Amino acid sequence: MPKKTKIDPKIAELTSNISLLESKLVRALADYANLERRFSEQSSAVIKFATSDLLTKLLDVRDHLALATTQIKDSSLTMILSSLDKLLVEEGVVEVKTDGLYDPTSMECQEMGVGEKDHIIKVVRPGYRLHDRVLRTARVVVGSGSPQGQTLKDVPKPEGKV
C-alpha cells in the first residue's frame, strides 16, 4: 500500500484560499462582462431614441402640412411634406398600421361607431413608431358591432347599469 503523506495544514489552507480567490475572480470577470454588455445596450438605446422628443414635435408640423395640402393644392407644399416624410423615415419613424383590428398598445379609441366590432372604421390622427417604440398613438374610430343604421344611442343598455 502506498504510504499516505501528511499535507501540511498551512499548505492546505493556502490551496483552499487560492481556489476561493480564483472562483471570485471568475465571477468578478463575468460580472464585469455583463456590466459592459448592459452599458453598451443602454448607450445604444439612448442614442437610438435621443431624437424622440424633437421627432414628436415634428409630427405635429407634419399633420398641419398634410392638412394644408388637402385644402391648398400647391406643389410647393406637397414637396415640403414629401421632404419631411422622407426625413422622418430616414430617422426610423414609421406610421402605425391602422387597417384591421384595434390595437390598444398603439392606438387610442376616440369614439365608437357603427361597424364591425373592434375594427378600425376611421383614422382621426395617424400614429407613429420610432424603431420599436410607439412615438405617438393613432386616434381612431372603432366599430362597436352594432348593426348598420343603428347608432350607439339606439343600442339598449344592460339593466342595472347607468
Judgement on whether residues 98 and 126 belong to the same structural domain of the protein: yes
Model confidence pLDDT, tens digit, residues 95-122 = 999 988 999 999 999 999 898 899 999 9
Cα 134 from Cα 55, distance rounded (Å): 12
- Provide the pLDDT for residue 160: 43
Question: CATH code at 151?
Answer: 2.30.22.10
| Span 27-44, average pLDDT | 91
Helix 52-71 vs helix 75-90: crossing angle, to nearest 10: 160
Alpha helices in 50-122 (DSSP H): 52-71, 75-90
Determine, yes or no, domain membership for 110: yes
Which contiguous run of DSSP H or E holds residue 111? strand 107-113
Domain total in the chain: 3
Which domain does 55 fall in, by range?
Answer: 51-91
| pTM of the shown model | 0.63
